[in-house]
Amino acid sequence: MEQGNLYSFVWDFRGGTFVKQICASSHEKAFLEWINYLEEKGEEVAFTKQECTLLRTQIDFEINIPILLNNTKNAWSNYLTFFEEPIWLTIIKTCSD
């Protein structure tokens, strides 16, 4: 696991709310690690293995980088659609190194 800041990921998908914390040097790198996490543990968070692999191919990392929330320094949001199902994602920089 990469050292750096601690980011908390909270996302709503298929009627559930899920949380994962990831250490990374930036929110962009943490976002990539979150995708890796989904590929490894997707079945625990409402994704099948096939869906996780497909999700990585569908995300355009140039377009889908999370956006800083207004009037904040440490909170980002992202809205993804996956097979026309919404994934509401919030990333919070929880702790700095």
The predicted model scores a pTM of 0.81
pLDDT tens digit string along 40-60? Answer: 877 677 777 777 777 777 776
- The letter for the amino acid at 38 is L
Burial 71-90 (b: 16+ CB within 10 A, else e): eeeebbebebebeeeebebb
Band (pLDDT 50/70/90 cuts) for residue 2 is low
How many Å apart are CA 69 and CA 93, to the nearest integer?
A: 12
- Which residue(s) pair with 23 in the sheet? 6
Mean pLDDT of 60-79: 84
How many Å apart are CA 67 and CA 90, to the nearest integer?
A: 9
pLDDT at 77: 92
More confident residue, 72 or 39: 72
pLDDT at 78: 87
